[in-house]
Structures are given as C-alpha cells and as structure tokens.
Amino acid sequence: MGEAYEEKNTGNDKEEDMYPITIFNPKKVDKKEQKRLEKIFRKYDLEWDNIEFSGTVSEKNLKKIYAICDEEGLRLKIRNSLGHRRTDYRRRFFSENKGDIGGKYICAYCGKWLKKDKVVVDHLYPVKNASQSVEYQKKLRRHGIRNINDNKNLVASCDKCNRKKGTKGGLWILRGKIGRHRAVWFIRYFIRFLIILFGAYSLWYLYRVIAVF
Ligand SMILES: [Zn+2]
C-alpha cells in the first residue's frame, strides 16, 4: 500500500507546472465586494464555492494571483502534495518508524526520550511554508522531497521543541536532520558517560594522592 502511495505522488514535470490552489478571505464582505472578487478570479478559472476560491493555475498566473491576494488581504494555499497536510501522516510515521529501546522515540531536536503518546510528529520542512510559496516547493524538490508528508520529512519531536520550532527553518532543519539518526544521540550519551567516568577516576586518583599525605 505504501508503494502505491509513493507512486501516485511522484507526478511528472507537466503536473508540477500546474498548481491547485485555494484562496480564503478572512474578512466578511458584502455582495458587491464579493462579485468584484469573483470577477477578478474568474479570469484565472478560479471558482467560488461559498467558502473559498479554488482551481488549478499555471506558475505564471500564480505569481499574478499572489500579488492580488497581497493587495486584497486574502490567504492563498497551494494544495498539491507539497503544500497539503495529509490527515494520516501521524499514523504513517508510526507504521514506518517503530521506535527504539522499549518502543520509545527520541526527540530529533533535543534528544529527549519520549513515549509514543508524547511524540509530536513534526514536519521537518513546515507545511505552512510549502503551502504558501512556489520557491519553497522548488527548494523541497531539489532536496528530493516530493510529498511534504513523506517519511523523509517527518521526525519525532517533543512538545516543547515542536512549539519552539514553529515554522522556522535554517538551523532547526539541520538539527532535525542530524538528530533523527539515533546513533548521533548514542554517541553523545557515550561521550557524556566517558566524561563522567574520567571525572570519577580523577576524583579517586586525587583522593589517593591526598590520602598518602
Ligand atoms: Zn525536544
């Protein structure tokens, strides 16, 4: 089943040039204003469905539509496989990642051990950023991510790190990419263990030297 899912979302280049979008108006507007917006968006084959405008547009038109949304204070979302949060990504994460010792998970950002029910499944590259920017989506494709909900883009996180990270990128992404490998944390634990061992040995040695006098 997993394979069929991957296959469906690889897409082809032509599909990638077209963007399914929705536009949401956070303001309440009167009929006249609504008609005006409908007229603008009809030019781009975007239909009003009583909640939002939706349709599929080319990249060229998307740039124009972005400018309109900025001006009108509307919210645009790209609803393709890179911009849309699937409802089952948490279940998929756990079916592909069985956890470590005792079924526990490690927060990819701080190394904290977590029980399964305490794990926040985090999108390494945030969905929000990918749903709002074509450039961001292109960056993700360059990184080999074709679906924002792919296992590649999901990491275990504690609640605290997840909230601190929010939609930030940069160093958080790097931390997550390194920290998702449990070996990194085991090496850190081992180094910490060696430091403690060395400290204990030093104290013991010092004690013996002092005890002689
Ligand atoms: Zn954490």
Q: Ligand 1: distance of its center to the CA of 93 in Å?
A: 17
Last residue of a domain, one of 49, 78, 107: 78
Does 213 reside within a domain? Answer: no
Does 185 reside within a domain? Answer: no
Same domain, 55 and 97: no
Distances (CA, A) of 90 to 126, 131, 168: 15, 19, 20
Does 204 reside within a domain? Answer: no
Beta strand pairing status for 75-78 and 105-106?
Answer: unpaired
Does 95 reside within a domain? Answer: yes
Q: Ligand 1: distance of its center to the CA of 80 in Å?
A: 29
Q: Ligand 1: distance of its center to the CA of 212 in Å?
A: 47
Q: Ligand 1: distance of its center to the CA of 152 in Å?
A: 19
Q: Please tell me the distance from the alpha carbon of residue 22 to that of residue 188, in angstroms, as a whole number.
A: 45
Does 131 reside within a domain? Answer: yes
Tell me the three-class secondary structure of 36-78, residue by residue.
HHHHHHHCCCCEECCCEEEEEEEHHHHHHHHHHHHHHCCEEEE
What pLDDT was estimated at residue 213? 66
11, pLDDT greater than 80: no
| Burial 64-82, CB ≥16 within 10 A → b, else e | ebbebbeeeebebbbebbb
Q: Ligand 1: distance of its center to the CA of 188 in Å?
A: 15
Same domain, 8 and 37: yes
Same domain, 125 and 168: yes
Q: Please tell me the distance from the alpha carbon of residue 16 to that of residue 10, in angstroms, as a whole number.
A: 10
- Average pLDDT score over residue span 25-43: 93
| CATH number of the domain that residue 48 is part of | 3.30.70
Q: Ligand 1: distance of its center to the CA of 120 in Å?
A: 10
Q: Ligand 1: distance of its center to the CA of 159 in Å?
A: 7
Q: Ligand 1: distance of its center to the CA of 87 in Å?
A: 23
Q: Each residue of 143-184: pLDDT tens digit? A: 999 999 999 999 999 999 999 999 888 899 999 999 999 889
Same domain, 138 and 70: no
Same domain, 53 and 14: yes
What DSSP designation does 86 have? -
Same domain, 33 and 65: yes
Same domain, 54 and 99: no
Q: Are 132 and 76 in contact (CB under 8 A)?
A: yes
Q: Ligand 1: distance of its center to the CA of 108 in Å?
A: 7
Does 102 reside within a domain? Answer: yes
Name the residue range of residue 155's domain: 89-180
Last residue of a domain, one of 78, 110, 127: 78
Domains: count for the chain: 2
Q: Please tell me the distance from the alpha carbon of residue 176 to that of residue 151, in angstroms, as a whole number.
A: 13
Amino acid at 101: I
Q: Each residue of 173-208: pLDDT tens digit? A: 999 999 999 889 889 889 999 999 999 999 999 998
Q: Please tell me the distance from the alpha carbon of residue 169 to that of residue 129, in angstroms, as a whole number.
A: 9
